[in-house]
């Protein structure tokens, strides 16, 4: 309908301009104005109409691919047969692939599945021993832990994100909602502790919050809700089309001031806006508490990013994949395999081979085996920094305007490192009164706004850091979130805890080149100092778990590097600071590079997290297929998904 309106309006304006009795120069001026006015109104459609006309490209979402949910597979050997298919030269040497994807995170898997839906044969290569990237899980002593999936928004039936995931998994991935309030903010410890519930309905969020603060803060709460709605509704299409239009045209439009008002709003930091609203430290913390979901402190992040995150959960709350995070890869891989594709693990890509400005393929290594796989297209889901520093020759990076432009700007850098503690409890979640809710714990009211600049993160080493309270912790109970947990007989009297905080890469950097599980006593002592501090502070908030801790596993930034090949232990890709989302840098972080056949996807293309990488994969598919994938999904949604919009 919008295309029809656009076409009809443009034709009427064009007819008036060409045949009306006005001077020729005025006709040119009016013609350009008419195109800009109508074209910008339907910006998303205009860009795809001009640059992605769908000529000869199949619609991967022409039909609803959902089938009835199959019984959940409880046998780990059968699950491993799908998500742990190891690379061997024999499996690939006789194959011809339409594309090779480096990395099996949700961004890379999304691209592979969409290409597979139009009959393309895609090979996904993963350096870890199981597929999934940050969506993988591990099992030890009958405890299963998800390493990166804690909660995801907009996964109720009929939501756009849900429709896309449904089609990538043939309807096999189910989602369980968290409780409401889905988050809780805890500030302080002991008798000084204050707790604030976070309801996903923004109106109820404000209503429940007001009695907890002085009446003079109530206007600030209402204004915060209004600003969240305003900033989250800034035209989302702008970000996508800036990355899909020819870069020269994007630069011209930005130079001419097009989108200036919308884009300048994205440059105000979270801290500066929140400080204008209130001087109450607790309220500032509540307004900014979840910046840990993208890893950039409020002084450095854009309020547009914060508002988008809050809006992501508003109206529907958080969801958790039934059966745990490993269900994601488990159910996408069969879709990729339908067209002859494969997802192979233990496959370390040593190099993306480029000759004469074009991709030739990839060099893959496993143990004593190494082979070259030819492919006309290579999609890197390994992140910008890994692609530049590890996968491409230095000479290729220097000669590429795409990569050198981003690196020279100093606007993009790796995000902050993280530490994780996984606890196994030998009592059920019901017995311990564990709930389907996340807790964001701050040692004081300054921690949320101070972020990584606070005293804790300026310590020289892990030992010094362990002498202080950890300023912020994310605490959740994955076993309680998963309705399928008790269907495993050996887990019914067990439960799990996940604790996450940020940590400096430099505290553990010296052990990065040491083998896993054999990094030595000094490393073990360093990680246990902070890990035990995380456990102690968690037990202060949840004292009922302390005597039932049966299993402990501690991960550091170098652990992240080992398992997901992150840069300096980050889990969110590039840092989400204001500079990264400045118009020029934002437009430059695009799927298509100036190296023929090399495509980028994942968190760095769009934004971090499951949904950011998921939509990054869809955006990459648009660029590869020269097709408006987003409208294809929208049309399928209207045809096959009855949906009633919920009011925030």
pLDDT in tens, 421-447: 999 999 999 999 999 999 999 987 666
Is residue 584 exposed (0-12), middle (13-18) or buried (19+ Cβ within 10 Å)? middle
The mean pLDDT of the chain is 88
Q: How confident is the model at residue 43 (pLDDT cuts 50, 70, 90)?
A: low
Q: What is the pTM of this model?
A: 0.90
Instruction: Retrieve residue 542's tokens.
Output: 């949840």
Picking from 114, 71, 84, 604, the residue whose alpha carbon sits closest to that of residue 326 is 84
Rounded CA gap, 420 and 608, in Å?
18
Q: In the predicted model, is pLDDT for residue 48 greater than 70?
A: no
Q: How far is CA 95 from CA 324, 347, 520, in A?
A: 33, 16, 42
Averaged pLDDT, 234-256: 76
Q: In the predicted model, is pLDDT for residue 295 greater than 50?
A: yes
Q: How confident is the model at residue 282 (pLDDT cuts 50, 70, 90)?
A: very high
Predicted pLDDT at 46: 58
Range scoring the smallest mean pLDDT among 230-239, 504-513, 623-632: 230-239
Query: Going by DSSP bridges, is the β-strand pair 495-503/194-198 parallel, antiparallel, or unpaired?
Result: unpaired
Q: How far apart are the first and last CA of the chain?
A: 27
Q: How far is CA 548 from CA 163, 366, 496, 539, 543, in A?
A: 40, 41, 11, 11, 10
Q: Torsion over CA of 575, 578, 584 and 585, rounded to 10 degrees? A: 0
Rounded CA gap, 395 and 384, in Å?
16
Instruction: Report whether 371 contacts 93 (CB < 8 A).
Output: yes
Predicted pLDDT at 395: 94
Predicted pLDDT at 65: 97
Range scoring the smallest mean pLDDT among 37-41, 490-494, 503-507, 525-529: 37-41
Range scoring the smallest mean pLDDT among 63-72, 328-337, 443-452: 443-452
Rounded CA gap, 286 and 390, in Å?
40
Predicted pLDDT at 214: 97
């Amino acid at each position: 309908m919008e295309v029809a309106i656009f076409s009809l309006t443009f034709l009427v304006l064009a007819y008036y301009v060409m045949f009306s009795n006005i001077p020729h120069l005025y006709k040119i001026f009016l013609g350009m104005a008419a195109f800009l006015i109508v074209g910008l109104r339907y910006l998303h459609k205009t860009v795809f109409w001009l640059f992605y006309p769908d000529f000869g490209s199949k619609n991967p979402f022409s039909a609803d691919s959902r089938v009835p949910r199959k019984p959940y597979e409880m046998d780990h050997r059968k699950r491993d047969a799908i998500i742990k298919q190891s690379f061997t030269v024999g499996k690939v040497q006789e194959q011809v692939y339409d594309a090779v994807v480096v990395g099996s995170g949700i961004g890379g898997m999304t691209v592979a599945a969409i290409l597979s839906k139009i009959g393309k044969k895609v090979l996904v290569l993963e350096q870890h021993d199981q597929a999934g990237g940050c969506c993988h899980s591990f099992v030890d002593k009958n405890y299963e832990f998800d390493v990166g999936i804690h909660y995801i928004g907009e996964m109720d039936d009929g939501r756009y994100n849900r429709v896309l995931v449904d089609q990538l998994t043939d309807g096999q991935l189910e989602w369980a909602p968290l409780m409401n309030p889905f988050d809780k903010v805890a500030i302080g410890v002991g008798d000084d502790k204050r707790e604030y519930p976070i309801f996903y309905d923004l109106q109820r969020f404000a209503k429940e919050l007001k009695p907890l603060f002085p009446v003079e803060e109530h206007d600030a709460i209402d204004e915060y809700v209004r600003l969240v709605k305003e900033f989250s509704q800034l035209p989302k299409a702008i970000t996508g089309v800036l990355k899909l239009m020819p870069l020269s045209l994007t630069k011209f439009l930005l130079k001419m001031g097009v989108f200036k008002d919308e884009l300048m709003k994205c440059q105000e930091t979270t801290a500066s806006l929140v400080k204008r609203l209130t001087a109450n430290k607790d309220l500032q913390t509540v307004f900014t508490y979840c910046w840990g979901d993208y890893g950039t402190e409020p002084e450095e992040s854009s309020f547009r990013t914060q508002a988008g995150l809050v809006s992501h959960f508003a109206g529907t709350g958080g969801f958790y994949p039934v059966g745990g995070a490993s269900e994601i890869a488990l159910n996408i891989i069969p879709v990729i395999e339908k067209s002859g594709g494969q997802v192979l693990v233990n496959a370390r890509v040593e190099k993306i081979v480029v000759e004469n400005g074009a991709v030739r393929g990839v060099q893959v290594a496993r143990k004593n085996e190494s082979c070259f796989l030819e492919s006309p297209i290579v999609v890197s889901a390994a992140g910008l920094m890994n692609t530049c520093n590890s996968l491409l020759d230095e000479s290729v990076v220097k000669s590429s305007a795409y990569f050198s432009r981003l690196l020279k700007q100093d606007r993009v850098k790796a995000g902050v490192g993280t530490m994780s503690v996984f606890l196994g409890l030998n009592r059920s979640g019901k017995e311990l009164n564990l709930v389907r809710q996340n807790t964001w714990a701050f040692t004081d009211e300054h921690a949320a706004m101070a972020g990584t600049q606070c005293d804790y993160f300026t310590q020289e080493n892990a030992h010094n850091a362990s002498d202080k309270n950890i300023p912020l912790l994310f605490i959740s109970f994955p076993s309680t979130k998963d309705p399928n947990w008790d269907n495993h007989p050996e887990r019914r009297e067990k439960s799990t805890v996940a604790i996450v905080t940020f940590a400096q890469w430099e505290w553990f950097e010296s052990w990065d080149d040491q083998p896993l599980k054999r990094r030595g006593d000094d490393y073990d002592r360093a990680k246990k100092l902070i890990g035990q501090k995380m456990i102690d502070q968690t037990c202060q908030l949840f004292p009922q778990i302390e005597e039932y801790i049966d299993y402990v596993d501690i991960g550091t930034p170098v652990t992240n590097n080992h398992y997901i090949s992150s840069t300096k232990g980050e889990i969110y890709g590039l840092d989400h600071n204001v500079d990264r989302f400045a118009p020029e840098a934002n437009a430059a972080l695009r799927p298509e590079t100036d190296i023929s056949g090399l495509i980028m996807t994942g968190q760095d293309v769009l934004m971090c997290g499951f949904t950011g990488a998921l939509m990054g994969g869809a955006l990459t598919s648009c660029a590869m297929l020269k097709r408006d994938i987003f409208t294809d999904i929208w049309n399928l949604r209207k045809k096959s998904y009855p949906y009633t919009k919920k009011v925030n």
